[in-house]
Structure 1
Amino acid sequence: MKKTSFLIAGTLLCHAFCLNAQIETPTMGWSSWNTFAVNISEDIIKGQADAMVSQGLKDAGYQYINIDDGFQYGRTAAGKVRSHPQRFPRGIKVVCDYIHSKGLKAGIYSDAGDCTCGSLSNGDTKNTNVGFYGYEQVDADYYFKELEFDFIKVDYCGGSHLGLNEQAQYTAIHDAIVNTGKDVRYNLCRWAFPGTWCHDISTSWRTTGDISDSWKSVKGILAENLYLSAYCYDGCYNDMDMLEVGRSMSEEEDKTHFGMWCIMSSPLLIGCNMATLREKPLELLKNPELIALNQDPLGLQAYVVQHI
């Protein structure tokens, strides 16, 4: 196994003075983007919900099935985001309800601007005019009151494209979510630490660009998060992006990747196809000791104490 050039000290020991025993711990679940990108469907998402249960991942603590980019198809005359007619012919509500029927929670995706990353980078042209911009309360009411999703990842490709003020726009979305009266986990996907303001409006925020299925990518993301521990507290977390465990990295690389995400209190969102997980990565993703570190109710992140 390759050695790193730093020493990490984590919050491995609990103490008797945890101020908030009800603090939210990092999100654990699965997201569609790493494996499927925009090529998702009702059957794919339902199959992953089934696999989370049958593979024992639900029992290990994973609970969110998050639908990323690719489910949208413009807007209806009433302004609501329309579900893609080929990928989700019965609508997205059917899928959300199915996820809930498995005892799991359901997550959805949008953008702070007008269009999504899929429309700009993946040629998914129907994903224009489906972001929150100009529809903040309409979309919040639709996703959380009507469809009953529990989590949302809000990207920034459309926001960047429009040159929006990110703090103002992400705060407007937060306010719209609060207005629904629903308990929603709100993830900001800005691809860099946004600033201390994000702590007041969200439960997690991406700190880097997208992860890829390579050891170089994992090391780069780890390095960019080494000095962000001060911003991880009160149930709010630095999001190091989705997990690549179970794809093409070596067993030792997978172990290091998962272990670092756990002790640094990152959300744990599986990114592979759970239905085809091999024995070793599945065993790793269910490791109770590592998960216990990640889900420590103190909610603190490991930090560097010495370079060696």
Structure 2
Amino acid sequence: MSSTTRTRGATATPALPVALHGVGRDFDGARGEEPRIVLRDVELTIKPGEIVALLGPSGCGKSTLLRQISGLDRPTRGTLTIDGTRVAPADQRSAVAFQEPRLLPWRTVARNIELGLPRGLDREAGRARVAELLALVQLEHAAQLKPRAISGGMAQRVSLARALARGPGVLLLDEPFGALDALTRLTMQDLLIDIHRTEPATIVLVTHDVDEALMLADRVVLLGTRFDRPGATISRVLEVPGERPRDRASTVLARLRAQLLDGLGVPSHHGR
């Protein structure tokens, strides 16, 4: 069924391009110290419908960059645009799902998803959209359950559905599977591929997991720092060939994994 004939079609934004030009972010230093430079000179263009994974060591600014794309934070320098226009504060063209699902415990699964619906949507269309999303994340059976009655993987599915509810043109995922056990994480990766096929937003994914980045992304963007310049910038961009879902045992992915681990300063024989 096409996006123009589903309930989503009336309210959805098509997948949108994202561009970052010279983006930098400083944070005020403590007790009169110099500002701390977190990001420096980030240049990146993301095509509509593309999945891009941001990879890098802890504290290098991946989540900060994601928040800037969403409009939840503002750059100190440079410009960020979605579809050619500057990102607005809490920009409604994008939606974010975090590592912590942040569900309201007094609302059911269905009513948590409702929180993401666009303003002004009539009740019947809203119910249809929630039902569609419950089916998409395979939670029809859990619609009336409260968050305390569902697993961590199910809670993350609710978070994804809520982020998708208004049909954003850009979906921003901040370590969405980082707190899940290994098997559930693999299942969620496969589910995200299915979701993207049905709801083809542009996706920017922050992850620490090299294999996850290679399984999901069209391109992997490696953030890193130089010893002579404070602040992280893009040190490498790798194209990931092959249609999704990909063979986890692929020799091509194994070569890319070694390159990414080398870029992270991790010997490839150490694995993830």
Report TM bin, short chain: 0.3 to 0.5
TM (normalized to structure 1)? 0.32
TM (normalized to structure 2)? 0.35
